[in-house]
Structure 1
């Protein structure tokens, strides 16, 4: 019997804010560790274009030049998706229900963890993603939009979603940073919660690709002795 539902919301997507980091910690995280500058790792034309974009947002060139590519990519993606909202997804539905019912809401994966994960990427992977964000017309993307992905998910069509991911991924390192490591971390957190055995029923909201692309969250939970059942 459900005594109480606790929603654990995982925030995904690009991150501009620092979460619980102070200014010094944030700067250490998003800037190069050595004397490397952005202009040292990308061509002059792309550098000037990025500086123009960032200066229009109020960031001086000196600051832009010190940033690691992953942070710039995240910021440009957020700017590009600025009109997107969170009020149409299942996350928002359950969040509203939880707020209405006065239930506890926590994050499975907060902003700091997301930033740390992005910072673990190799420079090569960071530059590959930055190149694609700056030149989207050169990227061969599948002819699938967000609505199509939602329809696949609702229909329980696993294979098309897997095929989509295989077309857009940058390879094993990208899968590890964006999925595998996070899947294992989320499974650990869920395990810790359930080990408390407090008699509550919990609802965890996690993105579809964290299940379909193996090893998924459910695989790590099964390794920890849990029985996971898929319900369409």
Structure 2
């Protein structure tokens, strides 16, 4: 499952390891929109993939231009929180059961059996996860499946642009805090947590899904991502989709609109691609509020197609 949550570590080593051959690969077509107010203040919205490959770099010149034009860069979490050793500790602490309850107690028998089969086939240390909650196990499986496809959180787009923003001396910030993200996950009802785990196991069964989603992200295919990532979750797990996507999008809107006020300067916003897609996405929510919105895609123009 490609969740729009931003957990990552340092990226510099992964990106430094690129070979000369990588430069011959065309840069990814960005999921990039420009939202403008009447005085021309711009908000650039960039859809991220939180785990990428070294050969997903360099980025499109469109992303470079948006970064150069922005005085501030916002992420789901601020770079300070992303870099803090306390983040992983807080996450694991929240994920641990107390009072003698165990993972098996919160899963339907069929889901537990499916998880056992997956763990045996994929060397997942289920015994060490027995005291952690379903949401944590779901994220662990999702990240493991993407890693199996050669993707690495250290090379994620968020981490890459955090480093570049720091080098350029740009102001940075987060749309939410780590505590908010953890509370969102840990606050899920048992049925939601089981749904999250069921979806992770279902998508793990489709060994090609991570590859297809990654390829769709590379070619800027928002329609395919919407159909195979967002729409599927909205259809099969509406309560989970509401919590992970819609509620967070709505919570971000006031801060995004504040950045569009006159005199604020341009801002680049980097969030998981899920948050920008469809009628529930930030792009359409801002369009509905009267802002001018355009997709930025130089590669699309060169190929004579609409983004």
TM-score (norm 1): 0.67
Residue 265 of structure 2, aligned match among 200, 203, 212: 200
Residue 164 of structure 1, aligned match among 195, 216, 228: 228
- Counterpart CA distance in 1 for 2:156 and 2:207 is 27
The answer to whether the 8 A contact 1:21-1:112 is kept is: no
> Structure 2 matches for 1:134-145, cutoff 5 A?
134=201, 138-139=205-206, 145=212
Which residue of structure 1 aligns with residue 251 of structure 2? 185
Which residue of structure 1 aligns with residue 179 of structure 2? 112
**Residue 211, structure 1, aligned to residue 276, structure 2:** yes
- Counterpart CA distance in 1 for 2:266 and 2:140 is 37
- Counterpart CA distance in 2 for 1:124 and 1:176 is 14
Which residue of structure 1 aligns with residue 60 of structure 2? none
- Counterpart CA distance in 2 for 1:87 and 1:32 is 28
Structure 1 residues without counterparts, runs of 5 or longer: none
- Counterpart CA distance in 2 for 1:218 and 1:180 is 12
Once the two structures are superposed, residues 132-185 of structure 1 have per-residue CA deviations (whole angstroms, 9 ceiling, x without a partner) of: 5457664597596244212441xxx44323222234554311221221111112
- Counterpart CA distance in 1 for 2:288 and 2:203 is 40
> Structure 2 matches for 1:2-151, cutoff 5 A?
5-10=71-76, 19=87, 27=93, 29-31=94-96, 36-42=101-107, 43=109, 46=115, 53-55=125-127, 59=128, 64-82=129-147, 84-85=151-152, 91=158, 94-131=161-198, 133-134=200-201, 138-139=205-206, 145-151=212-218
Once the two structures are superposed, residues 65-93 of structure 1 have per-residue CA deviations (whole angstroms, 9 ceiling, x without a partner) of: 44321122223333444563357665455
The answer to whether the 8 A contact 1:69-1:127 is kept is: yes
The answer to whether the 8 A contact 1:3-1:200 is kept is: no
The answer to whether the 8 A contact 2:137-2:197 is kept is: yes
C-alpha deviation, 1:223, in angstroms? 5.5
Residue 240 of structure 2, aligned match among 160, 174, 178: 174
Distance 1:221 1:22, change over 3 A: same
- Counterpart CA distance in 2 for 1:4 and 1:132 is 37
- Counterpart CA distance in 2 for 1:41 and 1:107 is 32
Distance 1:149 1:168, change over 3 A: farther
SS at match of 2:74: strand
SS at match of 1:229: strand
- Counterpart CA distance in 2 for 1:143 and 1:31 is 28
Structure 2 residues without counterparts, runs of 5 or longer: 1-40, 42-67, 298-307
SS at match of 2:272: coil
Corresponding pairs, count: 214
TM-score (norm 2): 0.54
- Counterpart CA distance in 1 for 2:276 and 2:136 is 26
